[in-house]
């Protein structure tokens, strides 16, 4: 603590050289007063104007038996269904495979939960960030952290930096596009409520309004069936679309990030104090190299798409 006063007058030190008995007397008088000031300062309430700031984590308040989880001894994690690759594998979040599946279990381990203590529940994408109480501890489902969503829910620190990819049919009219301008007249498909839709509106700015679909599989089927010329999805999903969902499709490029990097975050009920320990776990996964290892294993293809100018 910084003290903005002299606990002893400077004159005291001058006199002390001449009269040792004064030293003892003044020390006896001054030290209790200083101790009282320090004690009062320690007990005073902190001036914390940021009501959203999470308290600092510690080994004590992040102990497994102290965590504010929905079910004692269990960690309840939500995601959408179907759970697509490369985020999850085999539509089975519980197998710990795929990027988000692996991240979820790595976070659980940091919190002290064994694999058999993790419980999965299904929650739709838009339902996850709707206002109100949640029946899960956190949701992991490629949910970008945005100011609008933060009004209704709480997010952890980001665990993945997002880029958006543009996918067309390999023999489609816009398959040769290398710039955003060349996609101006394309009919674009996108999922409702996603930051992909925002990227289309702010960066591609097509001549006609994008076609908006309820689910990702609806977006994919729209391209497959020729209802749209191109779709915009997050880049790892774009690689999965071209590799496994639409034969002969291709990624024409990715959209450069605008402003601050877009991040996926773990989503919690508004004000849930568990976020402090989730942030600590994510920080440890980053600093220890585990998060990068998971990224390299499951999302290594995502660097191969050119940026559309």
pLDDT of 21 higher than 60: no
Give 291-307 pLDDT, tens digit per residue.
Answer: 999 998 988 765 567 88
**How much is the pLDDT for 218?**
95
**How much is the pLDDT for 16?**
35
CATH superfamily of 64-162+261-300: Periplasmic binding protein-like II (3.40.190.10)
Same fold across 64-162+261-300 and 164-255? yes
pLDDT of 171 higher than 70: yes
Which contacts qualify for 93-101: CB closer than 8 Å, 24 or more apart?
Answer: 93/120, 94/118, 94/120, 98/298, 99/160, 99/236, 99/294, 99/295, 99/297, 99/298, 99/299, 100/140, 100/141, 100/142
For the chain, what are the domain ranges? 64-162+261-300, 164-255
What's domain 164-255's architecture?
A: 3-Layer(aba) Sandwich (3.40)
**How much is the pLDDT for 138?**
98
Burial 225-254 (b: 16+ CB within 10 A, else e): eeebbbbbbbbbbbbbbbeebbeebbbbbb
Give 217-233 pLDDT, tens digit per residue.
Answer: 999 999 999 999 999 99
- Distances, alpha carbon 281 to alpha carbons 101, 103, 305, in Å: 15, 10, 31
> What pLDDT band is residue 23 in, cutting at 50, 70 and 90?
very low
Give 249-287 pLDDT, tens digit per residue.
Answer: 999 999 876 556 789 999 999 999 999 999 999 999 999
Give 192-207 pLDDT, tens digit per residue.
Answer: 988 888 889 889 999 9
Determine the Cα–Cα distance for residues 109 and 288; give it in Å rounded to an integer: 14
**How much is the pLDDT for 221?**
96
Determine the Cα–Cα distance for residues 151 and 249; give it in Å rounded to an integer: 38
Q: State phi, psi for 154 to the nearest 5 degrees.
A: -110, 140
DSSP code, position 7: S
């Amino acid at each position: 603590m910084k003290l903005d006063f002299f606990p002893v007058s400077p004159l005291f030190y001058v006199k002390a050289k001449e009269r040792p008995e004064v030293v003892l007397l003044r020390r006896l008088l001054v030290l209790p007063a200083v101790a009282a000031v320090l004690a009062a300062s320690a007990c005073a309430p902190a001036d914390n104007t940021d009501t959203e700031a999470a308290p600092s984590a510690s080994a004590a308040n992040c102990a497994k038996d102290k965590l504010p989880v929905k079910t004692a001894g269990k960690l309840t994690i939500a995601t959408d269904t179907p759970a697509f690759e490369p985020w999850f594998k085999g539509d089975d979040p519980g197998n710990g495979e795929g990027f988000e599946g692996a991240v979820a279990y790595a976070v659980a381990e940091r919190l002290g939960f064994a694999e058999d203590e993790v419980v999965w529940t299904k929650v739709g994408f838009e339902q996850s960030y709707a206002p109100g109480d949640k029946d899960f501890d956190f949701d992991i489902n490629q949910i970008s952290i945005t100011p609008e969503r933060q009004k209704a829910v709480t997010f952890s620190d980001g665990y993945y930096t997002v880029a958006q990819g543009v996918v067309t049919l390999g023999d489609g009219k816009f398959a040769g596009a290398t710039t955003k301008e060349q996609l101006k007249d394309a009919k674009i498909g996108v999922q409702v409520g996603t930051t992909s839709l925002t990227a289309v509106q702010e960066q591609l700015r097509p001549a006609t309004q994008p076609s908006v679909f309820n689910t990702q599989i609806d977006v994919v089927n729209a391209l497959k069936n020729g209802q749209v010329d191109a779709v915009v999805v997050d880049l790892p999903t774009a690689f999965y679309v071209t590799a496994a969902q639409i034969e002969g499709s291709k990624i024409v490029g990715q959209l450069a990030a605008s402003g601050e990097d877009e991040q996926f975050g773990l989503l919690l009920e508004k004000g849930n104090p568990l976020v402090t320990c989730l942030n600590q776990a994510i920080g440890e996964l980053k600093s220890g190299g585990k998060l990068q290892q998971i990224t390299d294993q499951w999302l290594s293809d995502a660097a191969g798409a050119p940026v559309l100018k």
